[in-house]
Structure 1
Amino acid sequence: MLEMKENRVYRPFLGGKMLDELSGTEPASDGHYPERWICSTTAASDGTGISVTTDGKLLTEYVKEPLPVLVKLLDSYSRLMIQVHPDDARAAKYFHSDKGKAESWHILGTRTIHGEEPYVYLGFKKGITKEKWRLLYEKQDVKGMEECLHKIPVKSGDTFFVPGGVPHAMGRGVYFAEVQQPTDITLRTERISPAKELLPDESLHGGAGWDALFDCFDYDGYSLEEIMQRYYVLPEGEIVMQNQYFTMEKIHCLRKRVVKSGNWKIAVVIDGPGKGKEYYLTEDTEFLAGQTIILCSQGV
Structure 2
Amino acid sequence: MQTIFPHYRGWLASFLVFLLATWAAPAWAQDDLLGQLENQKTPVTTPEPVTATFKSTRLISGHTVETPGQGTMVFLISHRFGTINSGAYNFFGLDQASIRLGLEYALTNKLEIGIGRSSIEKTLDGFVKYRAIRQTTGSKIMPVSLTLFASSAMNMLRDDRSWYTVPRRLTYSYQALIARKFSPNLSLQLMPTLIHRNLVQDNTQSNDVYAIGVGGRQKLTKRTSINAEYYYLVPGTMPTGVRNALALGFDIETGGHIFQLHVTNSQGMIENHFVANTRGNFFNGDIYFGFNVNRNFTIRPKEGFRK
- Same fold flag (TM > 0.5): no
TM-score, normalising length from structure 2? Answer: 0.24
Whose strand proportion is higher, 1 or 2? Answer: 2
Greater relative contact order, per chain length (Cα 8 Å cut-off, separation 6+): 1
